[in-house]
Structures are given as C-alpha cells and as structure tokens.
Amino acid sequence: MGRRRHRLRVAEGTHAAAGARLQRGERQGPRRVTHRATAQVVLGLGADRRGERERLLPLHSGDQPPVRAPGRPGHAARRGPAERVRPARPPRRGDPCGGARVGARGAVRGRTGALRLAHRARRPARARRGRGTTSGARALRHVARRRPGQARRSRLQDRPPRPLQRPDARGNARRGPAEPPRQRRTGRRRRDGRRARTVGGAVTGSELERLLRRDVEGDVCFDDYSRALFSRDASMYAIEPLGVVFPRHADDVAATIRAAAACGVAVTPRGAGTSLAGQTVGAGVVLDCSRYLDRIVEINPEARTAVVEVGVVQDDLNAAAAPYGLMFGPDTSTSNRATIGGMVGNNSAGSGSVRYGMTIDHVRALDVVLADGSRARLEPVDEAERARRATASTLEGSLYRELPELVRAHAGAIATDFPPYWRRAGGYRLDRLAGDEPFDLATFVVGAEGTLVVATRAEVDLVPKPRRSVFAVGHFASVAAAIAATGDALSCDPAQVEMMDRTILDLSRERIDYADLGELLVGDPEALLFVSFTGEDEDALTGRLDELDRLWRAHGHGYHTLRAVTAADRDALLKVRKASLGLLMAASQGTRRPLAFVEDTAVDPAHLAAYTERFRDVLDRHAMTAGFYGHCSVGCLHIRPFVDLTDPEQVRRMRAVSVEIKDLVREYGGVNSSEHGDGLARSEFNREIFGDELYEAMREVKRLFDPDGRMNPGKIVDAPPMTDHLRDAALPPAPALRTRLRFDVVGGMRGAADRCMNIGACRKSAPGVMCPSYMATRQEEHSTRGRANALVKALSEPDPEAALGDERLHEILDLCLMCKACKSECPLGVDMAALKSETLAHHHERHGVPLRSRAFGAIRTLNRLGAAFAPLSNVPGRVGPLRSLLARTLGISTRRPLPAFTRRTLPRWYAGRTRRSVPSSGGPQGQGTVTFLADSFTTYSEPLIGQAAIELLEHAGWDVRLQSTGCCGRSSLSKGLLDDARDKASDLVAALTAGSEPGTPVVGCEPSCLFTLRDEYLALLPDDERVRDLAGRVRQVEELLTEAIDAGRLRLRTDSWPAGRRIVYHGHCHQKAEVGTAATMALLRRIPGAEVVELDAGCCGMAGSFGYEAEHYDLSMTIGRQRLFPAIDAESTDTVLAATGVSCRQQIQHGTDRRALHPVELVRGAFGRRVADRE
C-alpha cells in the first residue's frame, strides 16, 4: 500500500471508530454525552479536535431540532450556527462532485476500523483555501503526517472524511469527472470538449470551476451529465448551465456568487427543481441549496416560529413542528419535496390559502447573500433602524437608501397599477414597501425568484395544526357545474375547495397507487369538488358538512356528495388531489403534453364561472384541449392545454393563447400568476400586466439589487420571449436504436425516459417506496428524475449505442435498486427498472459482462448445485477465508450472510408426499388445476414456504401442478443479461402453457419472480400471444386462499392464534408496484384473533443481489435503517413479522436479528397448528 493511501486510511479510521461505537450502541439507546453544547438527542458522533471527548454531528432536518420549549430544562438556547446541532445524515455514496460524505451511521454495528464504501474507495477532496478552520482534506493530511498514536491530537473537523474516489481497473484511486486535471492555460480543452470562454473580459468555464473548487467547501459539478440533469425543472423549458454548486453553508453561497461575478456568469438558485414556469433553469451556475442547507435550526413553540435553512422540505418542517401542535401554513401539492427556500422564492400558496394565505404572509426574516457576495439579514425595521442601515457604504446600505426614494417616486403607480386581486405571485412587491408599515425587505424579496438575493436561512411563522378534518366530495356532471357549486362551499367557511376534472380521475383509476379513489366514487363524474373542513370539535365539523349538503341539494348542485370522515378515506382523496399535476402529465403522448403557461391565473371566485367559460372559448378557438384542476376557493384553476413543442404551428398557437388569456385575466381584475411565479413562461408579459411606469420601477429595483444583472437574469424583468428555450424543441431527433425490450411509448426508449416531466415526486423522503436511493443519498442523480434526464441526454447523442456504454451514465444508474416503485408511484409511470436493464445490456456490449453479473444471472443453476451438495455447500458462507475469496473474485460483501441450501428441496418433497398425509378440512369440492411457480429460493433454500402454500391450496380443493424446472429470468433482467432472460422466458412460457387448460391460474410465493411473468415478459416477448394469455392468468396465492376461506373451503382454527397478537407485514416492492398489498393483508386478517398492521417502511434496501454486492452493502443497510429497521425495533418481541419477499426477509433478519415469516406460513400454522410451533 502506498504511503498516501496508508495515510488516508489512518485518517479515515479516526472517524470510523466513533461511528462504529455509535452503531454498537444504537439498539441500547443514546449514551451519555457530557459536552455542554449538545442537545438531548444523540444521533451521531464525531471526533473532537483534541480527541478529549465525543461531540455530536449537526442535526439533519426531519429529526428533532433544538426547541425553545417553555419550562423544559436543558433546551437549546439561541446560539450561533456553529453551536447548533443536527442529526447525522445517513452515509452517502460518492458522486463526481466529490461531495458525498460518509456519516457515523455508515459504520457497521459491532465493527471498528476504517469506514469506507467497499469497492468504491475515493480520494478525499483536495485541499482548498477556504474560510474559517482548516479544510477537511488539509486536516486529513495533517493527521496522516503523524504517527498513528498521534492522530487523536490532530485538528480534525467535526465531520467524517469524504468518500474516496472509485478505483480504476488496477485498484488505484482515480479522479471522477467532477475533479478534472488542473488547467495550466485558460483555453486548454477539457475532457468533455468545452473550452474556456470569455464574457466581457471575464474568464468562464474551466477558470470558474477552478475558483469554485478553491473557495467552496460544498460540491462543484461541471461534468456533462451534471449539467444536463440541472438543465431542466418541472417546466417546459431547458437551459444547460455551465456547472452546478451544492453549498454546505452560507459562506459557500457567497463564494459562489463572488466567483461567478469574477467570471461574468449568472447564478440561478434552485430548491427541489419543481418550479413550473422555468424559474430554476439558467445558463450560468445553478446553486442547488437542497442537498446540504437542510437544517431545522430551531422551533419556538411559544412564539410559534421556526428557523430553517432554505433546503428544508416542507413536510419535514411540519413533521418537526407536529409534536407542538404546529405546522407551516401554506400547503403545496409538492409538500413532500418542495423546499422552504423554493417556496420563498416563488411565494407559494397551495390548497389552504383561503385560510392561511401565501408564503409571504408567514416570513419573518431572511438571511441572504446579495449580488456582491455580501451577507445580510432582512427583517422588518422601523424608520430609525432603516436610516441607520442606510448610512453604510455597502450594497445593503444602498438598498436602505434608494428603495424608499424609489417607492416615493412611483407611489401613484404602486397604488393603482398592481392587479387588485390579493393572490399574486408575479412582479416585485413594491406595494409591501409602501404605507406606514415597518420597512420590510424580507417580505419584499419573497417571490423574487432569486433575481435579487439568494436566501440561505428563513425565520417563518407557524400556525396551530387543526386536530380534526373532514371532507365532502361533490360529484358533478361537468366542470362548469362543479365551479358553480363553489359559492355555497365558501359560505360554509372551508379550509380548502379543490376541483379536478375527468382526465385526472380516469388516469387515477389506471394506477395501482391511486386506485383507492375509484372505490369511493359513485357513478362516473366529469368533475369532483373537494371541500375540507378543519377544526377542534367533531360535532361542529359534522354540522358544516350537513349545511353544505343542504345547500347543494337546495340549489341542485351535483348528483352525489361523499363524506370522507375516516383517515383512510381522507388519505385516499388527498393522495390523488396532490398528484393531480403528475396524473394529468401522464396523459402525455410523446411530446404532446399538458403544459404550464396559462395554468396559474386567478380571479375573484365570484367571477370564476364566467371567466372559465371565456377561457374555454379561447382554447376552442385555437383547437386546444386541456386538463382542469385547481383551487376554486381562491379562483385559481390550473388549466393546462396539450401542446407539442416540436410543432412550430402549435408553439405559435400556444403563444397566441397566452396573449389572449393575459388580456382576459386583466379584464376580470385577476392575476396572471397566483402561486407558480413568472419565470420564463410569463415574465415577458409583465410590462403589459403592470404598466410602463410600474414595470420600469421594477427594472430599477433589479438594478439596485443586482447592478450587473447576474442574479437569475431573464426572470420577472427583461425576459426573453416565452417561446425561447423550449425543452422538447431543443432535443435532436432520436437516433435509431436497437433495443431488446420493447418500450410501448411514442419515441421508444428515449420516449420512455423523456416521459419524466421533472415534477420531483421521486425526491420525497416518505411515505411510499420511491426512490430508495435518493432517500439515502439525497443526490439528484440518484433519483428517478435524475436518471431519466441522464438517459435522455445519452439517447440524444449521435451514437446512442456508445453513449449507453458511458461509464458516467453507468455510475448514475448504478444505485438504482430496480425496485419498480417508480412504475407505480411516479404519476407518469417512468419505469426506471426496465430502462436500467436495457442500458446495462448496451453497456455489456461495449465492456463485456462482469463475472459477478454472470454468476447472479445463473442463480438458479448455482442454487441447484448448492442444494445437491448441501450441507457442504453451506461452508463457504461460514468460513472467513472462503468468504474473503468470494469478496475478491465476485465482490460479494463479507458482511452479508449467505443463504443456506437444503437437500430436501421442494421438488423432492412434492414428489414424495401423498395427499392422505395432509390433514383433511372437510373434503371441499374440486376447484380445478393451479400451477405453482417455484422460484429458486423457495425451491432450494426455503422449501417450507412452498410446502405450506401447496398444502393450503390442496386443502382448498385445488389440484396443484408444480413448475420448478425453469428460471423466470428475474436475476438476468436485473443484470442486463437480456438475451439470456429472453431465452429463459421463452422456455418457461412453453413449460407453463404446455398441457395447461385455458384460464388455469399461475401462482407463486415470490413476488419478484411471479410478476416478471406479467410485466417484463410482455416487453421481452411482445409478439408471443402465449405471454399475454399467461400474464392474464397470474394471480397471488393469497387471493386464492382468501377466496377459499371466505367460501368455507378452508377453515382456520379459532384457537390457533393468541387473541390480539400483532402481525406486522412488510410488502415487497414489486408486489406494491404491480398489484398492491391488499390481497396479502386480506389473507392475514382472516387469521382469527390476529391484529394485522402494514408497515409504511419503504424499500428494505436488499433488492436481490444488490445487498450482497460489496460496493452496495452500506447503502443497502442505510436504506433499511432509515425506516424499516426502526419500525421493527419499535415492535414488541411478541409481534410476529411477515414479509412476502425473500430479500425482505433476509434483510430483516440481518438488520434486526428477528425472523420474518411468509404470510402462507402463518396461515398454514393457523390451519393445522399453533404459529408458535412454526417459529
């Protein structure tokens, strides 16, 4: 080992020891920490700079923040940012920006020594001159120069080292694309083909990257793929930036702005990238504040305020405030991924604005960075304080001097030319500086879209969280009828009045994740009106429901009113309502999409019916159809016309509609942008909206804040035409590409990836499954959206075959667990598992198939050999040297237990059993033949599961035919061995259909194998009619058993289960994606006396072979630790765990030391013996 690598590992081990100590103590609860600055919640450990004690790593949003609680000893006082604490973030895999870090939780329980990601060692970041203390890289070298015994006395920072770079083929650490070779000359060509260029005498490109890497502690990404990923947001626009910066703190934001100014380029702030008008795309540097600036600094229950960094997600803030009965008022449909900073920049509102107003009404103060890189705190100040601040000879001082003069000079226009309607998100809020109120620049910059300042921290108001809520859902024969009923709803003082049209309803019925809504509806409505009431008294809420029902009946509104009073019904309704945008986008066909350009207008609700009718007339005149949904309570309908941006004629009509709607909204005294902002879609029309004088005043505001025009230029003022920078028009025609899977969408494989409209549902942290790798890493490229955009880039290259073999693309797709959650939870149904399989196949063509992929692809053969030589074949899994050999040759983690084989396989048992040996249940009538598909693990490792299923089916009257001779090809699909998977699929289809009667059910116990028959087989063998027939016959074994129990053919013993004993069930990701877990839950609930609970714990993290692979082991366990393991640990030891997936059961056993059973085992125990006998 070279000296440098040895030194790095010594330094790395200093942090790992503390992490390992934490992991050993996780199950026993927090240990005592004596440092006076720490909070009561111990969530991570790091080495103190002098090694004298262990200190806490900073808290991460979503865990308990420091709280100013009345009467609570030891609560956190208001301290500086460096003194506050935050929970340790889960370990992150390294990215090309060099910014991922491994936290203390990355250590393995019970292990000490160096903490590193196996097979992914990365060099620590290079030393950089920065602000404050010694940088992490310099500190590491400082430690490495000492002898091992001296490392504890080094000046290490309070954070673990960054992950090392992925090694090259010879095992040597190498640079990633984000750390290119040092440039000696400005014009030297970079590896990605870009040259440094000059703007106004300032150097950009490589020189800007050099400055940023020198001055910014956070991540700096200038590689082609990172730029492509951040060229889009949820709008119809795309602009490729020069690079992306992920600041760790406000000093990084300031350094980025200064470096960009020195190089003459623009800065575009970005939160979650869910903006709909193009606010967060720009040609300069994108400043993504969502990765690291995500601390909930303080919650003050007495004052009802919170202090948060701008990257905090709205739902995370609400979760932290909930124990104190508080929440953040604005409620956006993207609340599970929208950041507070994005809401501030956009002046977001959401469905509850009729009661809680807009974001601007909840902002108390902002910490910001100005255009010259200086920092300022914006808050309401009285005249004396304003005058004092105005004396400073700084940019901030000039604002306090010149803005009041500007307001006085244009007082008349400010008083008369702003649109009169209150729900306004466009333009600069000069009206907030007029009048006798304190001079408040904090609220003034709300809605400025990052064109004036970049916020880094916000102090916001919180509101009491209602304890109870109920819904009335009116069913209407038309959108117009639903709008007409809004007035009666508003008279009952609702919290929300929301509408959605038939387009969204029909799409929700087609998606398994939203199908619950269809079961609640009556008839076939053209539109629904959701009216919610919140409060403290249930009787009072019921009375308001009664009053609304009475009014609607009296006035003939609607044909049915559904009352949703249970939590399950409310959740089903809210889930669909919040997914309205995504569901509507799912109606896209190729590049014809429902687009956001006139979707954010708002008028007084009293005029909404007439306005909507006129709006329809405009659309009809231009031969456009549209989807309708939105907030009727505040007169805001999100009307999204379908437009193909690759068709110049349709683009011309789109602009014509925008012009007419702009004039129409002015006629009704409304606003052109009510919550989605101006961005690139509407800024062009602001001069006409506000008038010449007010618009020129806004341009002067921009000049005062941003003299050089580099803060997100082209938004609000001096904007390009709305038809510039359109995303679909910018893409070249998709080159021809031969694929092994058939993608049944317009545009083939690229069309399947380009279905993603960047709404960001895959960036959520809970609930649901999607996207486990993003939840663990919080990196855009490890989200479904990031991968989809990377694939669009690759598939748009002149040679897509070569692009699909690119190593950087392979790295982006590598952490996809292929859980298929995106297929169901992504409203647009982007199937990243299929896209990754196809991409891997092309990668193998150029680089060859790795030995490990071949081994996993042949898993059934290996399992058959393992069973034949059991128990001898189980020895390698228990002998250290043999495990090390497996690690070296196949990259199998030595920390992951290997499954054991048994000689008494399922086929042997099946061949040797007799029906008379099975206890009789009363001689049920015959039900015909059912084929039981025995997967590799049920056949060779867990045959008792197959035995239980077959016995129960036979007792229920089925003649069970065992199919155990062929592999479904699931493992080959996962590894991109698509030719092999097709051969296996063809063989298994022939075996399952040979001699099989039409309609014979095919069942199995392993969801990933069973549902491959009804999903991937259709893409592998699209022209084989037998496959379509077979897909229609696939059923879950749970369905047949539940039907048998309900029909009395299968009787469970009433004394087989202790009354009230809990069964906690964890569903398989593929099962959730294809059919849901309802059938399994129904079967478990048939067990007499059992209390059955389903965990919402996301993906277990195992994902078949993924969790065995050495380089993925840490991420696999991190995913499990996020939600699944804590949920299981919270259960008593008497609770019985159930899981349908073999990977899930293995991960639960490994992560919690508790065994999970397959549901059929529990039912078999309830049928013939006590479950305790089977445990």
385's CB contacts (< 8 A; 6+ apart) are: none
pLDDT at residue 900 above 60?
yes
pLDDT in tens, 815-836: 999 999 999 999 889 999 999 9
Q: How confident is the model at residue 915 (pLDDT cuts 50, 70, 90)?
A: low
Going through 420-513 in order, the beta strands assigned E by DSSP cover: 439-440, 454-461, 463-464, 468-476, 496-501
Q: What local confidence, expressed as pLDDT, does residue 580 receive?
A: 81
Show the CA angle centred on residue 181, arms to residues 180 and 182, nearest 5°. Answer: 115
Spatial contact of 753 and 830, defined as CB atoms under 8 Å apart: yes
Q: What local confidence, expressed as pLDDT, does residue 575 receive?
A: 78
Q: What would the mean pLDDT of 394-414 be, rounded to a whole number?
A: 97
Within this chain, domains 466-579 and 731-848 share the same CATH topology: no
Which tokens sit at 977?
A: 């061995």
Strands 636-644 and 626-631: antiparallel
pLDDT at residue 64 above 80?
no
Q: Is the peptide bond before 876 cis (omega within 30 degrees of 0)?
A: no
More confident residue, 524 or 1153: 1153
Q: How far apart are CA 792 and CA 786, in angstroms?
A: 10
pLDDT at residue 102 above 50?
no
Window from 155-169, 410-424, 485-499 with minimum mean pLDDT? 155-169
Spatial contact of 425 and 600, defined as CB atoms under 8 Å apart: yes
Q: What would the mean pLDDT of 1022-1047 be, rounded to a whole number?
A: 95
Spatial contact of 1035 and 1055, defined as CB atoms under 8 Å apart: no
Q: How confident is the model at residue 1169 (pLDDT cuts 50, 70, 90)?
A: low
Orientation angle between helical segments 832-847 and 784-795, nearest 10 degrees:
50
Q: How far apart are CA 197 and CA 186, in angstroms?
A: 8
Q: How far apart are CA 930 and CA 958, in angstroms?
A: 6
Spatial contact of 299 and 323, defined as CB atoms under 8 Å apart: no
- Torsion angle of C-alpha atoms 260, 261, 265, 266, degrees rounded to 10: 90
For the ranges 516-530, 558-572, 850-864, the maximum mean pLDDT occurs at 850-864
**CATH 3.30.70.2190 at 466-579, yes or no:** yes
pLDDT in tens, 542-577: 999 999 999 999 999 999 999 887 787 787 777 777
DSSP label at residue 142: H
Architecture of domain 296-464: 2-Layer Sandwich (3.30)
Q: How far apart are CA 630 and CA 617, in angstroms?
A: 19
Q: What would the mean pLDDT of 668-696 be, rounded to a whole number?
A: 96
Three-state SS sequence of 1138-1150? EECCHHHHHHHHH
Q: What would the mean pLDDT of 206-231 be, rounded to a whole number?
A: 96
Spatial contact of 1071 and 1080, defined as CB atoms under 8 Å apart: yes
pLDDT in tens, 925-979: 678 999 999 999 999 999 999 999 999 999 999 999 999 988 999 999 999 999 9
Q: What local confidence, expressed as pLDDT, does residue 80 receive?
A: 37
User: What are the helix (H) ranges across 435-563?
Assistant: 441-444, 479-484, 486-490, 502-509, 516-520, 538-555
Q: How confident is the model at residue 258 (pLDDT cuts 50, 70, 90)?
A: very high
Q: How far is CA 939 from the centre of its chain?
A: 36
Q: What local confidence, expressed as pLDDT, does residue 73 receive?
A: 36
Integer CA distances (angstroms), 671 to 423, 616, 661, 674, in order = 7, 18, 10, 6
* Percent over 70 (pLDDT), the chain: 81
Architecture of domain 731-848: Orthogonal Bundle (1.10)
pLDDT in tens, 1082-1138: 999 999 999 999 999 999 999 999 999 999 999 999 999 999 999 999 999 999 999
Run of H or E including 114: none
DSSP label at residue 915: G
Integer CA distances (angstroms), 320 to 63, 299, 306, 391, 619, in order = 7, 8, 10, 40, 44
Q: Exposed, middle or buried: residue 115 (CB in 10 Å: 0-12, 13-18, 19+)?
A: buried
pLDDT at residue 623 above 80?
yes
pTM of the full predicted structure? 0.83
Q: How far is CA 751 from the centre of its chain?
A: 21
**Rg of the chain's alpha carbons, rounded to an integer?**
30
Q: Which fold does the domain 1043-1173 belong to in CATH?
A: Rossmann fold (3.40.50)
Q: What local confidence, expressed as pLDDT, does residue 98 receive?
A: 56
Q: How far apart are CA 301 and CA 785, in angstroms?
A: 37
pLDDT at residue 83 above 60?
no
Window from 78-82, 276-280, 980-984, 994-998 with minimum mean pLDDT? 78-82
For the chain, the domains span 3-153, 296-464, 466-579, 731-848, 1043-1173
pLDDT in tens, 755-801: 999 999 999 987 889 999 999 999 999 999 999 999 999 999 999 99
Q: Exposed, middle or buried: residue 485 (CB in 10 Å: 0-12, 13-18, 19+)?
A: buried
Integer CA distances (angstroms), 928 to 918, 920, 997, 1034, in order = 18, 18, 10, 15
Residue indicated by tokens 């007799």: 914
